[in-house]
Structure 1
Amino acid sequence: MGLFGGKKFDTVLLTGAFKGMGKSVAIQLSQKGANIIIFARNVGKLEAALAEIKCIAGSSSPGFIIDTPRSVLRKQMDVNYWSCVDMSQAILSEWLGKGIEKGEKHLIFTSSVVTFYPVIGYAPYAPSKAAIKRLSDSLVQECLLYRDDVKVHTVFPGIIRVLD
């Protein structure tokens, strides 16, 4: 996994790590010796993943914008964008607080290649992933106002083949 190279991590918090890419990241980081904290909305699936890991939230609802109910559009933003906002507020308020010892910290968001390359049928999904890029870009600047050891990154994977 190129992004993580040979680094050893102390603790990594992942959301939605019960399947697919999130579970794969959790397993790989665990193998590198990281303590993994995983979050998911489904406790049963979370427990099953936890047993296998011994985390990444996201949702895609492809469709054409004129055929997609507003509830689905809102869910895309809730799961993909607002979950990142909520998590970053919680984490950064802790990391950037007074009295927190210095040490390299990384907040990593997962967006999508559709942020840069539109794909027909993904109009309900793409804006929620593009919003993550803007959030990340803004947080890079905001974090610099507080301290220089908190880094914000975004990855932009293409198609993810989920085998489970």
Structure 2
Amino acid sequence: MGSFLSKNEFPVDGRTVLITGGSTGLGLNAGRQLAEKGANVIIVARKLGSLEEGVRYISRGARSPETQRFHYIVADVTTATECARVVSEVISWNNGAAPDIVWCCSGSAHPTLYIDTPVEQFQTMMDSNYFSCVYMAHAILNVWLRSAADAKAAIKETSDQPKKAKPTSLPARHLIFTGSFVSFYSFAGFTPYSPSKAAVRALSDSLSQEMNLYAAAHPDLPRVRLHTVFPATMPTQSLEDENRVKTDLTKSLEEGDQILKPEECARRAIAGLESGEELVPTSTIIWAVMTSVMGGSVRGGFWKGLAGTLAGWITSIVMIFVRWEMDTKVRKWGAVHGSSGMLKKE
């Protein structure tokens, strides 16, 4: 799985995709590109106007506009009750069927120095980036796994001759989280934000293993696959908002960061999903750093795993010097400009 000879591991034609944070950036462009591949798309966000505009944009890319369907839901997915409501509304809209794919793209960043960060922002970061994934995952997995298993058990109890379950040939369902470069390596100014994204990566790794339990226990149900996409920096309104609160020090540490347009980032993410990757980096820099901290994560098949391991050995050595260089830059900054993180004004 995951080699260049593999089949498409992420078919979407005729399937229903739910995207949180789908009115802007990565979510919006992923929705458009999945529509171009034949998917029915529902997007979720807080602002009605952005959702209406987003659905118009996504629907214009429909491969089969006469059959594909599009919908939006206004919701705040940082609460468990709202995530449960979203899933319920999607099932109702989708004629009683659960979505086949759920992609959690919602999130926000407040990149400031730690002691200068308003204390409420720490909870906001966890709610926006981590708990939005936790609650949506809990809502959809209970539908995909518990509800389906309960229904199957009820049928079995009323049957005179229970039959042995056979492995299903149905396409897998996919639950996709969205991480960040700082899921793997953080630096000064991202301390309020990076723990929430590191937690997303840990959630994905552990849930991925749990899904083997259900796949083995219920082979006649569609398999559930877990993924986390790690988008590169994108020139969006969110980035502009972040830059307004970032210190000059943090901006200097980001120099050399690979920047991708949202449509290119979405294209690379979808290509990684189609090749069967569980952790999907969208830039060379993210891939290189990721290989040095893979731990027990799924490696994507033998050849990708081997290449990642070899790259990880090299990157682990390189990162020693990267950390040394960044520590040196921070110390020099403090000595010259003080502890505010801002350049001294002449």
Inter-partner Cα distance in structure 2 for 1:46 and 1:150: 28
TM-score (norm 1): 0.89
Give how far 1:50 is off: 1.1
Identify the match of residue 76 of structure 1 among 108, 118, 125.
125
Inter-partner Cα distance in structure 1 for 2:176 and 2:11: 15
Q: Percent identity?
A: 45
Which range moves more in the overlay, 98-107 or 80-89?
Answer: 98-107
Higher alpha-carbon Rg: 2
Q: Which has the higher contact order (CA 8 A, sep 6+)?
A: 1
Tell whether 2:149 aligns with 1:94.
no
Inter-partner Cα distance in structure 1 for 2:237 and 2:38: 25
Which range moves more in the overlay, 121-130 or 152-161?
Answer: 152-161
Tell whether 2:128 aligns with 1:128.
no
Which range moves more in the overlay, 23-32 or 36-45?
Answer: 36-45
Residue number in structure 1 paired with 2:183: 115
Shift in alpha-carbon separation, 1:163–1:82, aligned structure 2, 3 A? closer
Tell whether 2:236 aligns with 1:162.
yes
Structure 1 runs (4+) deviating above 6 angstroms are: none
Gapped regions of structure 2 (runs ≥ 5): 1-7, 60-102, 153-166, 217-222, 239-346
Identify the match of residue 63 of structure 1 among 106, 109, 112.
112
Inter-partner Cα distance in structure 2 for 1:121 and 1:163: 19
Residue number in structure 2 paired with 1:38: 43
The residue type paired with residue 133 of structure 1 is R
Contact 1:30/1:36, CA 8 A, preserved across alignment: yes
Secondary structure class of the residue paired with 2:177 = strand
TM-score (norm 2): 0.44
The residue type paired with residue 18 of structure 1 is S
Contact 1:96/1:147, CA 8 A, preserved across alignment: no
Bigger helix share: 2
Tell whether 2:12 aligns with 1:8.
yes
Tell whether 2:221 aligns with 1:153.
no
Alpha-carbon displacement from aligned partner over 1:82-132 (angstroms, at most 9, x marks no partner): 000010001100111213795311111110011112132111110010010
CA RMSD, 1 decimal: 2.2
Identify the match of residue 47 of structure 1 among 43, 47, 52.
52
The residue type paired with residue 137 of structure 1 is D
The residue type paired with residue 20 of structure 1 is G
The residue type paired with residue 131 of structure 1 is A
